[in-house]
Structure 1
Amino acid sequence: MGNTSSPYRSVPDMFASRVAESGEREAFTYPVPSSTGGSEKWETLTWNQTRDRVRDLALGLHSLGVTSQARCAIASSTRIEWVLADLAILCAGGASTTIYPTSTPPDCAYIVSDSGSMVAFAENDEQVAKLVDQRGAMPGLSKVITFEGAAGGDDDWVIGLEDLAALGAELHAEKPELFDELVASVKSEHLATLIYTSGTTGRPKGVRLDHANWLYEAEALKVMGDEMRAQGWEMLDADDVQYLWLPLAHSFGKVMQVTQLRLGFLTAIDGRVDKIVDNLALVRPTFMAAAPRIFEKVFNKVVMQAKEGGGAKYKIFKWAVGVGDKVARLKEDGKEPGGALAVQHKLADKLVFSKLRARFGGRLKFFVSGSAPLAPDIGRFFYGAGITILEGYGLTETSAGAFLNRPGDVRFGSVGLPLPGTEVRIAEDGEVLLRGGSIMRGYHNLSGATEAVLTEDGWFATGDIGVLENGRLRITDRKKELIKTASGKYVAPQSIESRFKSLCPYVGNLVVHGDRRPYCVALVTLDPEAIEVWAEANGLGALNYVGLTKEPKVRAMVQEAIDELNKDLPRHETVKDFTILPSELTVEQGEITPSLKMRRRAVEERYREQLDAMYKDSIQSL
């Protein structure tokens, strides 16, 4: 196993080294709206140009008082300005605090306040409005810098990105050596990133990741690539093209950023999810990282188009998928198809799979999947089509990357082998424990929470149950009750459920469900006494409990409360659909404990059919 010690002092040091080595090479390409109202165009930045933009922004932050490890928040979707702002914060010596653009105003205020952020970058007027609305709750926030929103105001609290760059350019003219001095002063043990992840109470917890964490991730992935290349596999280098759409507020996106700094490849950046398939054909990347939901969407679209092509076309498609599945299973065992299967696969490739690869630009080495479990059948579909998906595993607390399948050694249903330098062991209760350079330094302002998951000798308790099979990790369950949707977002169901009860007194239980699913749904039980009173008042007194669960007026009443609940939730936590159950949850059925605590898994298992029905349109079956 190679040495994962980084040759760099910090992320800014690694960035400076990349600029020195690759100055005139292209670093980023990104879409820009047309000024004449026509179709958008893509512009590029070389590494030198990126350094110049970052330098001005970093010195601008310095002039605003940003010093070593001072927190600066970013509330934005994925775009070139996010990357520039993040690098500028780090080069100024500060630490980036990430905020999802879908966060509610109170959540934004909590993150800004808890992190102690003194400056916030906001994408547009919508994000600025959230901060303005909560200004009183964030007394330490001295300045908001907007990427494209309206700047100005009586007290100049909000300024534009170009205003910040102008401050920096002026300072650079006065002190041309200052930027290099700031970069040189950043140390590996300094805080680099605060990423907030949902806790069981619903309050997000700030995960403290320092420069050493990101340097380890970048170096471990480089070492892994070198090891695989030595075995004859095609890995990443400076000539590759990454398509980056991942939310940069998430640790998965951050890993892809620092890996680019280490290896020097070009990144095409566009966070618009609805543009992914179109952009793949346009950008023609050699690799892309994504959550499983993206692969599910692509699969669904391919299936639907095959169905729309008519009976004969769909029959050919189903045949090709069957052939691809057989080939994928052989390749998982380290074998190649021969005889009749090889002939069939070649024909399937000509008729179906080659067209699919062409839609992705025709240059893909592989996809990387993380943030949530990848359905093995989806993985094998792409593998049989000549498109490799490398599934990995990690948490925000492990700087995202801890395990990854290797090219030529893919096992669907497994998250592969640990990254070089990462140790793993399975606790007596089956919990996965990890140790190594990726492990967080702790939770921000939550020492008790840190001690609950991180031992003095560095072992981190992941909260996931897993097994090791020939060194490969397979996650089998979640120890904690947090939901993780298919897009990789965490949801704390108990907080939502308890909030709902105050909105709808006629409901006995709301069971939020969405783990490894594309969105959240709910099972609803009615409160027998309360609903009886409601029924009498609404001319439905003749109906019994079961009759009321089927009554449209009852569903409309519950829907009204769900709509009210959703108003105050981030998009990924909203309840998209619900089913009213025909009976209460009972101790006798094992659905609740004698102390009236809900047994979530028991409820989900009993009503699996009802839950699956609410996702019937999310994944098309062949």
Structure 2
Amino acid sequence: MREYSVPVLVDVPASASLTDTVFLRGEREPGRVSLRRKSGDDWVAVTAGEFRDQVVAVAKGLIAAGVEPGDRVALMSRTRYEWTVIDYAIWAAGAVGVPIYESSSADQVGWILSDSGARAVFVELDAHEETVREARENTAVPGLDHVWNIEAGALDKLTETGAGIDDETVEERRSGRGGSDLATIVYTSGTTGRPKGCSLTHDNLLFTARNVAAGPLEPLFTSDSAALLFLPLAHVFARMIQLVLLETGTVLAHTPNMKNVAPDLQSFRPTFLLGVPRVFEKVYNAAELKATVEGKGKIFHAAAATAIAWSRAESAGGAGLGLKLRRALFDKLVYGKLRAATGGRLSAAVSGGSALGERLSHFFRGVGIEVYEGWGLTETSAPSSVNQPGANKIGTVGKPFPGVTIGIADDGEILVKGRHVFTGYWNDEKATAEVLDTDGWFHTGDVGELDRDGYLRITGRKKEIIVTAAGKNVSPGPMEDRIRAHPLVSQAMVVGDGRPFVAALVTLDPEALERWQKTNGKAGASVADLSRDPAIQAEVQKAVNDANRTVSKAEQIKKFTVLDIDLTEESGHITPSLKVKRALVARDFADQIEALYGNAAHTP
């Protein structure tokens, strides 16, 4: 088995807990700005002392309400300032945080509250409180004593409730939790079956945060750095980055509403951004469509080609003078405007969740915003590998971060070792034994390869490998990523398991489609009509052709069909972390899939 290890940089002591840095900074640098929160159109500074005091006040309320060390407290909310306060307050009270996606159904909420044995739950909105009420009607949650509504003033009420609790009690609770103690139970998105609760300790999270911060991404977190978070904090990826930001003292802000991301980027002016591939795809697609609508499509495409060519040349040893001059020209005409749309200071971003794709990575680097791809799972406290400034090998997900060993099994499965690996699935010893072997390796289920420099490349996922009737193994992910890169495409799912050839289901992006309709004189046409429109079919064919160029002839997509609805989180076909629920899609669109193999769909 091929292995690659990176030595530990920060040896976190066994007594350390996640609240240490927040409390120490609040004591030693009380006036330092740690966060900014939106108030009207302004970003109001929150100092380290103020943040620590708010955490203490809410922790006192939790203690007064009867929350004991080790009790589970759930949190169902969008990404916002209060999420962070509550998360740290739960830890300061000695309890265990259980995040829940704010978009979760009553059935999902009931399962998580019941399975975790939650003692209390914070909700953000009345709608979330109603979801919890419905969940309790359908699922027994006997230990749930409190439901606190953030918008209804829960934090102020808890502060009043905890007024009689002294600081010493909070300090005793906080310092009484160490590295081996459970910090959180993070439930997987559940692309198949019930979500499983991943048990992560203080050491899992703190070891990861401090080694990532001191290692590969250190240059991104300086005294002048600022980051805007908009991905769900219920997902371990965003939550880990938040920990890194607070550990390093990087100024942090939140955007609860995805629709506000664009204006908030311009007003907050971050230097660093966290995203998933779909976010970067939509930024590119929106810029391309805007340029096309304004009659500047040729200029944009030339600028994009130059950015990609310059980045590729830099990776190969350096761009020539002519390419540098073209890039300088387009920097004034195009790239500068793109950077201005992000506030003008953004120079770096981290992408995870799935493959970004080399084309987009090179494009953004050419524009002046370098995207560093990383890889990991909830079971590994988010990251296991990440690219880094000065050593960003586009097309890979980087090297293991300090303290991590990555191995490639004989069948190609990626195995991981390190203090960041979870202790197991909550209440599920059987599932734990299936992924954690006796030698300490975590079996990720992903398939990949390590190059001679230790960079990891993800090539697929074991459970998603399609085996055609001819016995050809096909990894659908990379092809789906290429199809989704087309501005008109929202989602793509490759099918063909046990079938004579590979095919695909494709959906259209509503925002992009609206602009396309205006440009092409099709305003008022229904999505159903547009899905069959020859011009749309031709555009999707381009995306499929692009994907087919990356694989052998036996793996190529021979047919596709454009669905007349999108696959979304609201429809139940996409997880909150933007992964397609393949089994559910296959079930709900079985007729369309059958039609693909009955000569009833478009054939390339």
Query: TM-score by structure 2 length?
Result: 0.77
Query: How many residue pairs were aligned?
Result: 505
The residue type equivalent to 1:206 in the other structure is: G
1:213 aligned onto 2:190: no
> In the alignment, does 2:423 pair up with 1:423?
no
Give per-residue Cα distances to partners, 1:427-473, cap 9 Å, x unaligned. 01000000001100000000010010001232100000001113110
* Structural mapping, 1:156-167, within 5 Å: 160-167=154-161
Match of 1:536 in 2: none
Does structure 2 retain, via aligned residues, the 8 Å contact 1:104–1:570? no
User: Cα deviations across residues 556-615 of structure 1 (Å, max 9, x unaligned)?
Assistant: xx999x99x9489977668699595485688xx9xxxxxxxxxxxxxxxx99978xx9xx
Identity, % of aligned pairs? 36
Determine if contact 2:414/2:446 at 8 Å carries over to the other structure: yes
**Pick from 20, 26, 29: which aligns with 1:19?**
26
2:350 is paired with a residue whose SS is strand
Inter-partner Cα distance in structure 2 for 1:515 and 1:315: 27
**How is 1:544-555 mapped onto 2 (pairs within 5 angstroms)?**
none
Give 1:500-539 correspondences, 5 Å limit.
Answer: none
Stretches of structure 1 lacking an aligned partner (at least 5 in a row): 35-39, 152-159, 494-510, 520-557, 590-605, 614-622
Query: Paired residue for 2:301?
Result: 318
Q: Does the CA-based 8 Å contact 1:79-1:270 persist in structure 2?
A: yes
- What is the DSSP-based 3-state SS (H/G/I as helix, E as strand, rest coil) of the residue aligned with 1:364? coil
Alpha carbons 1:364, 1:387 under 8 Å: kept:
yes
Indicate if the aligned counterparts of 1:60 and 1:169 stay in contact, CA closer than 8 A: yes
Identify if the C-alpha distance between structure 1 residues 585 and 342 changes in structure 2 by more than 3 Å, giving closer, same or farther: closer
> How many Å separate the matches in 2 of 1:512 and 1:378?
24
Query: Could you tell me which residue of structure 2 aligns to residue 616 of structure 1?
Result: none
C-alpha distance in structure 2 between counterparts of 1:339 and 1:31, whole Å: 45
Is structure 2 residue 347 aligned with structure 1 residue 358? no
Paired position in structure 2 for 1:403: 385
CA contact (8 A) 1:191 1:211 kept: yes
**1:192 alignment partner in structure 2:** 183
In 1, the alpha carbon distance for the partners of 2:178 and 2:215 equals 25
Alignment of 1:312-461 (within 5 A): 313-333=296-316, 335-461=317-443
Q: 1:438 to 1:512 in 2, by over 3 A?
A: farther
CA deviation vs aligned residue, 1:106-135 (integer Å, no higher than 9, x gap): 110110010011010000100000111222
Partner of residue 3, structure 1: 9
Contact residue 507 and residue 564 of structure 2 kept, 8 A: no
1:570–1:425 distance in 2 versus 1, CA, 3 Å = closer
Which residue pairs with 1:126 in the alignment?
A: 127
**Using the alignment, how far apart are the partners of 1:385 and 1:609 within structure 2?**
37
Question: For residues 210 and 504 of structure 2, what CA distance do their matches in structure 1 show?
Answer: 38
> Are 1:397 and 1:440, in contact at CA under 8 Å, matched by a contact in 2?
yes
5+ residue gaps in structure 2? Answer: 1-6, 466-475, 485-490, 494-501, 511-562
Structure 2 distance, partners of 1:476, 1:65, is 49
Which residue, out of 217, 224, 249, partners 1:264?
249
SS at match of 2:220: coil
> Cα–Cα, structure 1 residues 513 and 585, in superposed 2: closer, same or farther, change >3 Å?
closer
Partner of 1:30: 37
1:73–1:99 Cα contact (<8 Å) kept: yes
SS at match of 1:11: coil
Tell me the distance in 1 between the aligned counterparts of 2:362 and 2:600.
29
Counterpart of 1:283 in structure 2 is 268
Name the aligned partner's letter for residue 145 of structure 1.
W
Q: Does 1:243 align with 2:246?
A: no
Letter in 1 for 2:320: G
Q: Does the alignment pair 1:305 with 2:290? A: yes
Whether the aligned pair in 2 keeps the contact of 1:18 and 1:261 (CA below 8 Å) is no
Which residue pairs with 1:76 in the alignment? 77
Offset from partner CA, 1:50-77 (integer Å, 9 cap, x none): 1111101101111122122210000111
Aligned to 2:150: 147
Q: CA deviation at 1:364?
A: 2.0
- Measured in 1, the distance between the counterparts of 2:181 and 2:602 equals 50
**Residue type at the aligned position of 2:9:** N
Is the CA contact 2:189–2:575 (under 8 Å) kept in the aligned structure 1?
A: no
Structure 2 residue 44 is the aligned partner of structure 1 residue 43: yes
User: Relative to 1, partners in 2 of residues 1:109 and 1:583: Cα closer, same or farther, differing over 3 Å?
Assistant: closer
Is the contact made by 1:373 and 1:516 (CA closer than 8 Å) also made in structure 2?
A: no
Task: Map Cα deviations across residues 270-302 of structure 1 (whole Å, 9 max, x no partner).
Answer: 132122222111111110111111111110111
Higher Rg: 1
- Which residue is 1:601 aligned to? none
Task: Indicate if the aligned counterparts of 1:22 and 1:264 stay in contact, CA closer than 8 A.
Answer: no
Distance in 2, Cα, partners of 1:318 & 1:53: 50
Instruction: Determine if the alignment matches structure 1 residue 292 to structure 2 residue 277.
Output: yes
Which TM-score applies when normalising by structure 1?
0.75
- Matched AA of 1:445: N
Whether the aligned pair in 1 keeps the contact of 2:43 and 2:268 (CA below 8 Å) is no
Task: State how far apart, in whole Å, the 2-side matches of 1:297 and 1:285 are.
Answer: 19
CA distance in structure 1 between the aligned counterparts of 2:183 and 2:101, rounded to whole angstroms = 18
Distance 1:417 1:57 in 2: 39
Q: Following TM superposition, by how much is the alpha carbon of 1:198 offset from its aligned partner in structure 2, in angstroms?
A: 4.1
Q: CA deviation at 1:515?
A: 11
- The alpha-carbon deviation at position 183 of structure 1 amounts to 1.5
Q: Aligned pair 1:479/2:462, yes or no?
A: yes
Q: Report Cα offsets for 1:189-222 as digits up to 9, x if no partner.
A: 1100111014575101000000001111111112
1:25-74 CA distance string (max 9 Å, x none):
11111223x5xxxxx43323111111111101101111122122210000
Which whole-Å CA distance do the structure 2 matches of 1:221 and 1:294 have between them? 23
Cα deviation 1:497-527 (Å, max 9, x = unaligned): xxxxxxxxxxxxxx998899999xxxxxxxx
Q: What letter corresponds to residue 24 of structure 2 in structure 1?
A: S
